[in-house]
Each structure stands twice: as structure tokens, then as C-alpha cells.
């Protein structure tokens, strides 16, 4: 492949340059060490501050910028010492090396103390598991589950409550003993409808927790099989739950966009176009940087003309005898357009494969329109001669009238587009010959159904 799609969805977490943070930590039994304050981001951790533990066991995380609010870990090297909620920017903590977590005391931060109180009580209950019988363990687990639910209910609308709620799995109604296909469909629909019930997407701090990233990746993978219109409705519903101008909204928008800009399942790129236009390009208050907006505009412009179902734009090309041979002049049941670079190895291999299997396509009324996408006419003619593709329609942009990049989304070579007799796009990516035959069979089946 000749080109690589640039990364267009990076964004930076904004910080208030005029605010400060100061978190004092005293650890009995620890000295002359380095501590790191890191927060969750998807499956990794991002370091936000570093502090040295002095001879008295005191470390101070301090800076001229606010720390992004979220679920943090205090770490020493690669070792996790304890978890803490960062909401307030100025508070103190005290613990000791005998038990970092259970001996942790917090002063000056309601949210951090609320979370630590839960951890301490939950750990105390979990201690009873040691030496317990199987029956006793079940009772202890039930008690822990009830304690967590009660704690969430008591502390609704707090960050701690949101974090604890996020750890609760959705309870999907079980299938009947003799389940029908409709029962299975209903259960699946329930799961997707309620998937985000326990994640408070209106709380931007949830971005920096272990929950949102994993759940988003799993969800996008599962819904990618839905029809584009359904995915768009889902995307809008989820995105609209996030705060305007927030990093969480940017994150969710970016995840949908990245998933569907080059989807595994053909035809889903319309989801990307919708999300990019509505939440990046046209939302002037979204906070996206000008570079991201510009690049998304460029991609949308390129992708729109070759969306499945659209009528392809014409190509004003000439053949080897310099005879005008436009794409719209080709009469065939189906047309496979291949835009290529004669020097591209993938193009050469694709050509060999098409030549080998062309009888299968030809039997179904398919013609192949081989459009040279580069400007070296000599190399184009040599390609035709070397690979013996005279049975195909070989054309060249003699008068520089065809914009392969913007009108046909040619970002990589070869670029293959499969059309019906009316030049409507049936496939907009490279497929195996057998896959093209399946598309033809589906199209023929539609015609039979209409009779």
C-alpha cells in the first residue's frame, strides 16, 4: 500500500494553567523513595505527578496546574500502593507500610475520604472469607454485594457512588426454559439497551477510571454488526449523555469515529461521517482543535462520494489508443473499477488474482475497468503489456480530469469499487472474487423478489 491514514483523533486533556494542586502524603516506615500519581486511561495508566519521600516519610505532590479529576493510583516503581480519588486539589493523606490501604487516613477531601471509607469497610468484610466454608463464603459475598449497593444508594450523585455503580454488571433477564429465537433477540436487545445503565456518562471524571474504555471497546465491537442507521441512533444517544465541551465527549466521539472510519463491515463508514459532521465539524463549541476539524473535513469529503448506495461519479478517461472511454460509457450488468498504481506490489498481485478468476465474474456479466491512478503513461502501458490485461478496459487520465483522491477516496492502492449497471456502488473496498459473487447473488435475489 502506498499511503497510510494519518491519526486524526488525538486530543489533549485540558488543564487550568492558573490553578494549583498540593497533596501531602505521609507514610510511616517509608523514606527516600519516589512515588508516582497516575490515573487510569483505558487499559493503561498516565502519570500526572511525581514526589520524593523524604527522611521523615513525607512526600508532596505539588504543581501549578490542576490534576484531572478521576480514579488514581499511588505507585512506587511498578508497584501499586493504594487507590485514591482525586477531586479536590488540596488535601492530605497518612498511612504506613504495614497496610497502605486499610490504614489510609484522608483529610480535606470529601470524595477521597468517601471512597476510602468504602474500601476500608469492604476489606473488613472480605477478611471473613479466610477460613470460611463454602456456605459462609456465599453469605459473605451476598453481604458485600448488598453493602456496595446500599453505599451507592446512600451516596448517589457522588463520584465514589458512580465508580462503585460502574462495577455492577447489568442484570439481564434469563431466557425461558424453552427459549425461542425471539426470546434470544429480546434478551440481546435488553442487554444493548441497558448496557450503559450503570455508567454515569454525565460525570466527566468517569473518563479516568478503569470502566469506560473497556466497556466502550466491547460495546463498539458488538454493535458493529447492526445496520448503520441503528448504530447512528445508538451513537447519538450515548454521545448526548456526555457533557458538552468535555474530554469525555471528545473521547466517546473519537471512539465511534475511529471504529467506523475504516470499518471491518462494509457500509458502516456512514456512521463515521455522521459522527464527524455532527460532533466535530459542525459543532463549533465542541472544543476540537483546528487540525482535527480540518482532517475530519478532508476525510468526510473523500468518503461521501463512494458511500454504498451512491451513484459513482464519472471518470473521463482514454484507452490505449487515446479514445475517450468514460466509466459511464461502459455497458455491463456489473462493473469492477480498480484504481491502481502500476508500480504497486499489491496492485500487481490483485491483478494476477483477477485475471485468474475473471471467468467467474465474466459469466455474471462483470466488466473490469482498470483506471491508472498515476501520471506515468509509459509505466501504465508497460503494466498492460507485462500483466496481459487486454481483456479488461484499460484507461488513463490523459487530460487530468479525474480527481481520484477526493472523488473516489483513493487513499491506498489498489482501490476497488463494485458497481451495478446503473453505476450504483455495491461495494467500496477490495473483496475476494467469491465475495463479489455473493453480492451479485444478493442483487439477483432482490430482482426475483420484486417480480
Cell 473521463, residue located: 316
- Is 380 exposed, middle or buried (CB count within 10 Å of its CB: 0-12, 13-18, 19+)? buried
d(CA 109, CA 89): 8
Exposure string (b/e) for 182-192, b if CB count within 10 Å is 16 or more? Answer: eeeeeeeeeee
d(CA 408, CA 422): 17
> What is the mean pLDDT of the segment spanning 380-399?
97
Question: What is the pLDDT at residue 170?
Answer: 86
Question: What is the pLDDT at residue 171?
Answer: 87
CA dihedral (107, 109, 112, 117) positive or negative? positive
Band of the pLDDT at 256, cuts 50, 70, 90? very high
Instruction: Sort residue 67 into left (φ over 0), alpha (ψ -120 to 50) or beta.
Output: beta
> What is the mean pLDDT of the segment spanning 228-235?
95
What DSSP designation does 318 have?
B
Question: What is the pLDDT at residue 189?
Answer: 87
Lateral strand order in the sheet of 79-86:
44-53, 33-41, 70-76, 79-86
Question: What is the pLDDT at residue 13?
Answer: 41
Pairing of strands 334-340, 366-372: parallel
Q: What H or E segment, with its residue span, contains residue 404?
A: helix 404-408
- Is pLDDT at 8 greater than 60 in this prediction? no
Task: Provide, rounded to the nearest whole percent, the portion of the chain with pLDDT above 90.
Answer: 83
> What is the mean pLDDT of the segment spanning 243-250?
93
d(CA 253, CA 147): 35
- Is pLDDT at 15 greater than 70 in this prediction? no
Question: What is the pLDDT at residue 359?
Answer: 97
- Is pLDDT at 40 greater than 90 in this prediction? no
Band of the pLDDT at 354, cuts 50, 70, 90? very high
Question: What is the pLDDT at residue 447?
Answer: 76
CB 154 within 8 A of CB 147: no
Widest Cα–Cα separation across the chain: 89
d(CA 437, CA 434): 5
d(CA 222, CA 201): 19
Residue 109: all three cell numbers together: 477531601
- Is pLDDT at 449 greater than 80 in this prediction? no
d(CA 395, CA 415): 15
Question: What is the pLDDT at residue 129?
Answer: 93
Band of the pLDDT at 450, cuts 50, 70, 90? low
Band of the pLDDT at 451, cuts 50, 70, 90? low
d(CA 66, CA 215): 27
Residue 100: half-sphere exposure toward Cβ, Cα within 13 Å: 13
- Is pLDDT at 419 greater than 60 in this prediction? yes
Single out the residue of 271, 147, 209, 222 nearest to residue 201, CA to CA: 209
Question: What is the pLDDT at residue 2?
Answer: 41
Q: What is the mean pLDDT of the chain?
A: 92
- Is pLDDT at 7 greater than 50 in this prediction? no
Single out the residue of 113, 108, 80 nearest to residue 24, CA to CA: 108
Question: What is the pLDDT at residue 125?
Answer: 94
| pLDDT tens per residue, range 300-349 | 999 999 999 999 999 999 999 999 999 999 999 999 999 999 999 999 99
- Is pLDDT at 53 greater than 80 in this prediction? yes
CB 405 within 8 A of CB 302: yes
Amino acid at each position: 500500500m502506498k499511503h497510510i491514514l494519518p491519526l486524526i483523533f488525538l486530543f489533549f486533556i485540558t488543564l487550568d494553567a492558573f490553578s494549583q494542586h498540593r497533596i501531602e502524603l505521609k507514610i510511616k516506615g517509608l523514606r527516600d523513595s519516589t512515588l508516582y500519581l497516575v490515573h487510569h486511561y483505558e487499559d493503561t495508566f498516565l502519570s500526572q505527578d511525581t514526589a520524593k519521600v523524604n527522611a521523615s516519610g513525607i512526600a508532596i505532590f505539588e504543581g501549578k496546574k490542576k490534576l484531572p479529576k478521576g480514579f488514581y493510583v499511588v505507585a512506587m516503581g511498578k508497584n501499586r500502593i493504594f487507590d485514591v480519588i482525586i477531586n479536590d486539589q488540596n488535601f492530605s493523606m497518612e498511612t504506613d507500610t504495614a497496610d497502605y490501604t486499610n490504614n489510609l487516613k484522608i483529610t480535606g477531601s470529601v470524595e477521597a475520604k468517601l471512597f476510602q471509607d468504602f474500601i476500608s469497610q469492604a476489606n473488613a468484610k472480605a477478611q471473613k472469607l479466610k477460613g470460611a466454608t463454602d456456605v459462609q463464603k456465599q453469605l459473605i459475598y451476598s453481604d458485600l454485594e448488598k453493602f456496595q449497593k446500599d453505599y451507592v444508594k446512600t451516596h448517589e450523585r457522588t463520584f465514589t457512588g458512580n465508580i462503585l455503580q460502574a462495577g455492577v454488571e447489568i442484570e439481564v433477564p434469563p431466557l425461558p426454559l424453552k427459549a425461542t429465537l425471539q426470546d434470544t433477540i429480546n434478551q440481546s436487545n435488553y442487554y444493548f439497551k441497558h448496557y450503559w445503565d450503570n455508567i454515569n456518562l454525565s460525570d466527566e471524571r468517569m473518563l479516568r477510571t478503569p470502566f469506560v474504555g473497556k466497556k466502550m471497546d466491547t460495546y463498539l465491537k458488538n454493535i458493529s454488526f447492526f445496520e448503520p442507521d441503528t448504530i447512528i441512533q445508538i451513537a447519538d444517544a450515548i454521545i448526548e449523555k456526555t457533557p458538552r465541551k468535555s474530554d469525555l465527549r471528545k473521547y466517546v466521539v473519537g471512539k465511534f469515529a475511529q471504529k467506523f472510519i475504516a470499518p471491518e463491515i462494509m457500509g458502516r463508514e456512514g456512521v463515521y461521517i455522521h459522527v464527524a459532521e455532527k460532533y466535530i465539524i459542525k459543532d463549533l463549541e465542541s472544543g476540537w482543535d483546528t487540525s482535527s476539524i480540518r482532517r475530519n473535513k478532508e476525510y468526510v469529503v473523500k468518503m461521501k462520494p463512494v458511500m454504498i448506495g451512491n451513484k459513482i461519479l464519472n471518470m473521463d478517461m482514454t484507452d490505449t489508443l487515446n479514445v475517450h472511454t468514460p466509466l459511464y460509457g461502459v455497458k455491463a450488468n456489473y462493473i469492477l473499477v480498480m484504481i491502481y498504481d502500476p508500480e504497486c506490489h499489491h496492485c500487481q498481485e490483485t491483478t494476477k488474482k483477477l485475471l485468474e478468476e475473471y471467468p467467474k465474474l465474466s459469466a455474471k456479466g462483470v466488466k473490469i475497468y482498470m483506471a491508472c491512478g498515476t501520471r506515468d503513461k509509459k509505466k501504465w502501458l508497460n503494466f498492460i503489456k507485462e500483466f496481459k490485461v487486454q481483456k479488461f478496459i484499460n484507461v488513463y487520465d490523459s487530460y487530468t480530469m479525474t480527481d481520484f483522491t477526493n472523488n473516489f477516496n483513493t487513499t491506498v492502492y489498489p482501490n476497488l469499487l463494485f458497481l451495478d449497471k446503473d453505476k450504483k456502488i455495491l461495494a467500496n473496498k477490495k473483496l475476494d472474487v467469491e465475495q463479489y459473487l455473493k453480492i451479485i447473488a444478493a442483487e439477483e435475489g432482490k430482482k426475483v423478489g420484486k417480480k
